[in-house]
Amino acid sequence: MTQTDKDRVLIFDTTLRDGEQSPGATMTHAEKLEIAELLDEMGVDIIEAGFPVASEGDFRAVKEIAERAKQAVICGLARANPTDIDRCWEAVRHAERPRIHTFIGTSPLHRAIPNLDKEQMAERIEHTVSHARNLCDNVQWSPMDATRTEWDYLCRVVEIAIKAGATTINIPDTVGYTAPVESADLIRRLIATVPGADEVVFATHCHNDLGMATANSLAAVEGGARQIECTINGLGERAGNTALEEVVMALRTRGDILPYDTRIDTRKIMHISRRVATVSGFPVQYNKAIVGKNAFAHESGIHQDGMLKNAETFEIMRPEDVGLSATSLVMGKHSGRAALRSKLSELGVEVGDNQLKDLFVRFKELADRKKEVYDEDILALVTATTTDGMADRLQIINLAVTCGTGGPARAELEMEIDGQEVSATCEGDGPVDATFKAVRELHPNGARLQLYQVHAVTEGTDAQATVSVRLEEDGMFATGQSADTDTVVASARAYVNALNRLLVRRDKTGPGSDAREISYKDAG
């Protein structure tokens, strides 16, 4: 490596693969393409686009992302067998810069799963990495659960993978078990011990089970790793993965002790964070570092006084650095279409003419109900516009709800289902329960409600409510979102939106096939 290479950290984003493994976070084909395009535009070096052998849908998404990518390396995941590797290559081969990522679990616990002894596993690693390298000159190999693999054996299999042609060696902390001092030491020792280690890039892939994923990743960089595997918003299995926005901004902000560069355009962070939160249905917690609603908010009197005198007293980053507007320009019912387009552009949202037309109608309706429409209100409208109506088999025509302390709530619902207008009246334990019962009466289904969340977009009694609903049916997950100043209306739209997503998936793939067709362990 040159001195410049040594100072550069590659950002490997696995939002579309490891991030999507979060239960309920499955994205549609169009959403995967959109997120991949945003990742490419913001400067991500490698995009792990999916697991091609998992399903036909995954294969098609990886293939199309590979064909569309402009800058990033496009990577697919493959288990340690020729069938997976061949399928992965078929998906990524048309990328300008393709990569095959193959893996196998090397810890005692993971060796027991395929019932391989150390010798048999070593042979499989040599064979499968060689097979991948014969197809592609950019091969990444991961010893899954590396941080719980015996030291001598880890050194041995890493050496085998390097000799077989791996160009990147990823060291995953699959269960979030390690700590920063161990993370740095492990990478440092591998580079110093394994023959050929100085000729490849070492990567780190950390999970957040003990809340140390970002710290462990940065420590690994100090130990010599030059690729960080991460996801937007820290999305991922269990407690999630290393958050891209956290490691990137840590490297940028603390260059005095972490003198490493990335090529990420940090001004695009907030926009992609919001889009991932929307399409995954996983809202960002308010106090989340970098992208949380409160990350740049100050309420304490002492803090506010300090901010007014000098922003650096309580902010180590500028809001503009991550794509937040320095000021929140209030728009209202007198604002025109040009002003709305300008505001959207300022917020990092580009829309076509047809979408702007629909969005402007919603904006005017909201402005008539609210005195002031803030940036957050507009972003919530964008979310509603891009998710509501995605599939129009089920549409809400009218909803009237009565409730109070004197008896059960009552919902009178009119819907259009497959072009036919139908109506139902149901009672329930509260207005939302009554409304959902009315939807189920008109559209009987076995979907189980796994998540129901309500977030106020802005302050005040006239604030919009953003509602997220996650449903599960026959192994398929779907998330719906909607926003409205009426929480019950937003709830109904979100519920129907999720049902529409389930219908789309069932129509395209048949019952159950949207779930992973094969079981697999991730490479991290």
Q: Which residues are annotated as a binding site for Mn(2+)?
A: 18, 205, 207, 241
Give the C-alpha separation, 31 to 34, whole Å: 5
Phi, psi angles (nearest 5°) of residue 273: -60, -45
98, β-bridge pairs: 74
Please state the separation of Cα 78 from the chain's center in Å: 20
Strands 139-144 and 168-173: parallel
What's the rounded Cα separation, in Å, for the pair 254 and 261? 11
Alpha carbon distance 376, 382 (integer Å)? 10
**What's the sign of the alpha-carbon dihedral 379, 384, 386, 387?**
positive
Cβ-based burial of 34 (10 A; exposed 0-12, middle 13-18, buried ≥19): middle
In this structure, the strands spanning 448-456 and 420-428 are unpaired
> What are 204's two structure tokens?
């780190």
Q: Which of 84, 87, 95, 93 is nearest to 127 (CA)?
A: 84
Q: Residue 23 is which amino acid?
A: P
| Total residue count of the chain as it appears in this document | 524
Cβ contact 90:52 at 8 Å: yes
Residue 76 is encoded by which pair of tokens? 């697919």
Among the residues of 370-450, which ranges form H helices? 375-387, 431-442
- Separation CA 114–CA 496 (nearest Å): 43
